Amino acid sequence: MGPAPPLEIYGWSPFFAEHFAPYALQGLVAGRICRDHQHLYRVYTEQGEAVASVAGRVRHRASGAGEFPVVGDWVALRLLPRERRAVIQAVLPRLSKFSRKVAGSVTEEQVVAANIDTIFLTQALDDDFNLRRIERYLLLAWESGARPVVILNKADLCDRVADLVRQVEEIAPGVPVHATSARLRQGFDQLSAYLEPGRTVALLGSSGVGKSTLINRLLGRDFLRTREVRSEHSRGRHTTTHRELVVLPSGALVIDTPGLRELQLWEVAGALESAFPDIEALAVGCHFRDCRHEGEPRCAVRQAVADGALPSERLDSYLKLKVESRYLAERQDKLAQIAKKRKWRTIHKSMRSLKPKDGG
């Protein structure tokens, strides 16, 4: 067996080297998480691949699931050669992360993948095509810090590809949009510009859009298992059950993710301007500076809808996402206040227990 590849193969950069320097002095090694399976990780290192778990102190310090390592993270490891495993001592700062709120009623962050350069937001050109879903994905993508690219797969199943591409371009100005057919291996030449050595691409989308097939085509071999889509409503099954980072022949890295059935927002208020630049531009002409575009007089956005310059569905989606974002922010503030009060109660209780008793 030859020597393991240098870390640059896996996306190592001066940014991570700088943050890893203190851990190197402790005799730790750097690694990038390439697979996550219920908090048991597979990690790329200069010594080869290793199976790792999280150190108890890291687990204890994590205030929520969003602070645990995820695929794409760079970590500081203590190797245990005799036990053939490693222990994650720290997670290095992230350059980017794609997050959503965990499914259900719990207000908590779920980081889907980290340190991504480009996000392939993948949608199928079949009966499940949905512009409003693309808007939601774009909102989270802009907030992640990575560059969004829309991939419209299964072009072979659609007889109006050009029209749907145009519709997506209208709701995603400035975002590249590409139509592909993974089954027929069409449209892949246009993706090569994003697949440069050491750069990381994550594929995100609903189940059944063909993400695993896309990756297999990019790899040139059947690396990820795929399954036929069920005919009713063109829904797919969750072939991918875990996140995985693999190296492509081009030297780029790609992360496959399970299909996201539910995509709830997480801290996206700052990304609304990027995801809806048309509405933000129109809002400059509103009479009231704090116009909410919900019936105020002399609203330029509502006027654009009335004139046919802005689709009403586009505005409805914007307002819905804004309300959802506002509600989530309020929930996060309340939970932060509760956590702060709980922390101070614990501190005061500890201080009282340390006070000397009278006559003691």
Tens digits of residue pLDDT in 308-350: 999 898 898 888 888 777 756 555 555 445 445 555 555 555 5
pLDDT above 90: residue 197 = yes
Confidence (pLDDT) at 349 = 58
Confidence (pLDDT) at 86 = 93
Band of pLDDT at residue 83, cut at 50, 70 and 90: confident
- Crossing angle of the two packed helices 312-354 and 131-144, in degrees rounded to 10: 40
Higher-confidence residue of 231 and 191: namely 191
Residue 21 neighbours by CB distance under 10 Å? 9
Q: Place domain 97-256 in its CATH homologous superfamily.
A: P-loop containing nucleotide triphosphate hydrolases (3.40.50.300)
Task: Tell me where in the chain the CATH 3.40.50.300 domain(s) lie.
Answer: 97-256
Q: How buried is residue 193: exposed, middle or buried, by Cβ count under 10 Å (0-12/13-18/19+)?
A: exposed
CATH fold of 7-91, please?
OB fold (Dihydrolipoamide Acetyltransferase, E2P) (2.40.50)
Q: Kindly state the tokens that stand for 186.
A: 């069409």
The average pLDDT across 116-144 equals: 87
∠ Cα 18 21 27 (to 5°):
155
Band of pLDDT at residue 121, cut at 50, 70 and 90: very high
Task: Tell me where in the chain the CATH 1.10.40.50 domain(s) lie.
Answer: 276-329
Task: Let me know: does 19 contact 209? Beta carbons within 8 Å.
Answer: no
* Range with lowest mean pLDDT among 43-47, 211-215, 229-233, 337-341: 229-233
The average pLDDT across 4-30 equals: 93
Confidence (pLDDT) at 231 = 43
Confidence (pLDDT) at 43 = 95
Band of pLDDT at residue 299, cut at 50, 70 and 90: very high
Q: Kindly state the tokens that stand for 17.
A: 């080297």
pLDDT above 50: residue 233 = no
Quick one: three-class SS letters along the chain?
CCCCCCHHHHCCCHHHHHHHHHHHCCCCEEEEEEEEECCEEEEEECCEEEEEEECHHHHHHCCCHHHCCCCCCEEEEEEEHHHCEEEEEEECCCCCEEEEECCCCCCCEEEEEECCCEEEEEEECCCCCCHHHHHHHHHHHHHHCCEEEEEEECHHHCCCHHHHHHHHHHHCCCCCEEECECCCCECCHHHHHHCCCCCEEEEEECCCCCHHHHHHHHHCCCCCCCCCCCCHHHCCCCCCCCEEEEECCCCCEEEECCCCCCCECCCCHHHHHHHCHHHHHHHCCCCCCCCCCCCCCCCHHHHHHHCCCCCHHHHHHHHHHHHHHHHHHHHHHHHHHHHHHHHHHHHHHHHHHHCCCCCC
Band of pLDDT at residue 151, cut at 50, 70 and 90: very high
Task: Tell me where in the chain the CATH 2.40.50.140 domain(s) lie.
Answer: 7-91
Residue 92 neighbours by CB distance under 10 Å? 21
CATH architecture designation of domain 276-329: Orthogonal Bundle (1.10)
pLDDT above 90: residue 215 = no
The average pLDDT across 188-208 equals: 90
CA pair distance 202, 243, nearest whole angstrom = 10
Q: What is the largest CA-CA distance in the chain?
A: 89
User: At 46, phi and psi to the nearest 5?
Assistant: -70, -15
The set of residues, in sequence order, having a beta carbon less than 8 Å from that of 256 and lying 6+ positions away, is 203, 211, 212, 215, 224, 240, 243, 244, 246
